[in-house]
Amino acid sequence: MSTFSLDPGPDQLAVRDWLHGFAADVMRPAAAEWDEREETPWPIIQEAAKIGIYSLDFYAQQYFDPSGVGIPIAMEELFWGDAGLGLAIVGTTLAAVAVLANGTDEQIGTWAPQMFGTPDDVKVAAFCSSEPDAGSDVSALRTRAVYDEAKDEWVLNGTKTWATNGGIAAVHVVVATVDPALGARGQASFVVPPGTPGLSQGQKFKKHGIRASHTAEVVLDDVRIPGSCLLGGKEKLDERLARAREGAKRSGGKNAAMATFEASRPAVGAQAIGIARAAYEVALDYAKTRVQFGRPIIDNQGVAFQLADMKTRIDAARLLVWRASWMAANNQLFTSAEGSMSKLYAGETAKYVTAQAMQILGGNGFTREYPVERMHRDSAIYTIFEGTSEIQRLVIARAISGLPIR
Ligand SMILES: Cc1cc2nc3c(=O)[nH]c(=O)nc-3n(C[C@H](O)[C@H](O)[C@H](O)COP(=O)(O)OP(=O)(O)OC[C@H]3O[C@@H](n4cnc5c(N)ncnc54)[C@H](O)[C@@H]3O)c2cc1C
């Protein structure tokens, strides 16, 4: 176990500087254009792939870094560059983490590389859990997986929604119910290989922010996949279902998928911090140079104190994210839902800081001549996806009280 430290060490600092260069030189200049185009920025993903930022190796290295801060540092820098482009680059990792968390070694070896493709032929992957009637309430999902024993195939039917990279992905990871009577405990995750008939993209959503990231419905119409595409394998699933049917509540109702979400939340918090830091920096610069009443606006306590609060909240959010990331990397249990705490606080901070930044920039802040209005739009998703702020509070409240708070 590594000791908790606020010094990331020379290796992590070198990675941070390298990512910062890419964020400043490649992402920043392209951000406004892709936000307007509202399309997947394939050339930017490809550039990231060419230098190794979009690769399985890179994320695996950061993911397994014992300090735990490899992923948060990477996320913060990329999202400091731009959140829409950032999500287009890292959206694949959500599906990769699902395979990593639930798959066998063989499944990881087969599917994880196909999710990224190669620098000359980049691919993306999608994680499809949410449905029109199952957002926060994951246990309500209706997509059905039925086993065809004669052919050793699974047949998937249903409609997924809001899937990042949905329909354009090479590999889709789909959460489906095998036994609806068991709720969340009757669910399993499946890999749908590239080009599988029956999987199609439904509506592509036009969004308020992170517009360079593709979000769409995914329709599954008699999608047949080999038995080997059930993540974790059939034997493990059958054991799990048998335990659930016996009514064993040993885990206190917390399933493996939720534990994985909890562990990945700090990474999402780090993305929000990247956006907040970017907006704060723009506002600080502006406040020092914008002159009204014969003096820079930062000379007014009213403005300077706003900046002081913005910086304080960003640093506090980062501390929560780093603590939770270190805990996850060192197998420390989140006894007070520390992962949710970090995502909750970082998401709310990004919304607050970007709104304050717009205020400090006055009329300019409201225009697309300056990046803070885009950052504000981008920040809004951070209180919604990967568990809304209310759901994070619910998780924290249950953890600290031990009660089934509703
Ligand atoms: C841009 C974008 C990308 C996404 N990417 C993915 C993806 O890649 N894969 C995927 O599977 N999903 C994805 N999602 C879905 C996302 O995770 C859901 O939108 C989110 O979980 C919320 O679900 P919902 O939208 O159905 O809101 P609802 O669950 O309907 O919630 C509506 C409101 O009610 C509140 N609420 C609900 N229940 C409670 C409660 N018990 N107590 C208090 N308040 C409550 C919520 O906090 C929220 O404010 C994405 C969504 C967006 C917008």
Residue pLDDT, tens place only, 301-358:
999 999 999 999 999 999 999 999 999 888 889 999 999 999 999 999 999 999 999 9
Q: Is the minimum distance from the CB of 62 to ligand 1 under 6 angstroms?
A: no
Cα of 131 vs centre of ligand 1, distance in Å, is 10
Q: Is the minimum distance from the CB of 141 to ligand 1 under 6 angstroms?
A: no
Strands (E), 45-182: 117-118, 121-122, 125-128, 144-148, 153-164, 171-177
Among 94, 171, 173, 384, say which to mutate for ligand 1: greatest number of ligand atoms within 8 Å of CB.
384
Q: Among residues 129, 151, 153, which one has the least CA distance to residue 228?
A: 153
Residue type, 81: G
Please report the pLDDT score of residue 66 as a whole number. 82
Band the pLDDT of 252: cuts 50, 70, 90.
very low
Q: Is the minimum distance from the CB of 114 to ligand 1 under 6 angstroms?
A: no
| Residue 114: Cβ-neighbour burial (10 angstroms; 0-12, 13-18, 19+) | middle
Query: CA 122 to CA 120: how far, in whole Å?
Result: 6
Q: Among residues 379, 372, 358, which one has the least CA distance to residue 273?
A: 379
Band the pLDDT of 160: cuts 50, 70, 90.
very high
Which residues share a beta bridge with 157? 144
Q: Going by CA atoms, what residue is nearest to atom 14 of ligand 1?
A: 162
Mean pLDDT of 4-11: 82
76 is catalytic: no
Among 35, 92, 127, 136, say which to mutate for ligand 1: greatest number of ligand atoms within 8 Å of CB.
136
Backbone conformation region of residue 9, classed left if phi is above 0, alpha if psi is from -120 to 50, else beta: left
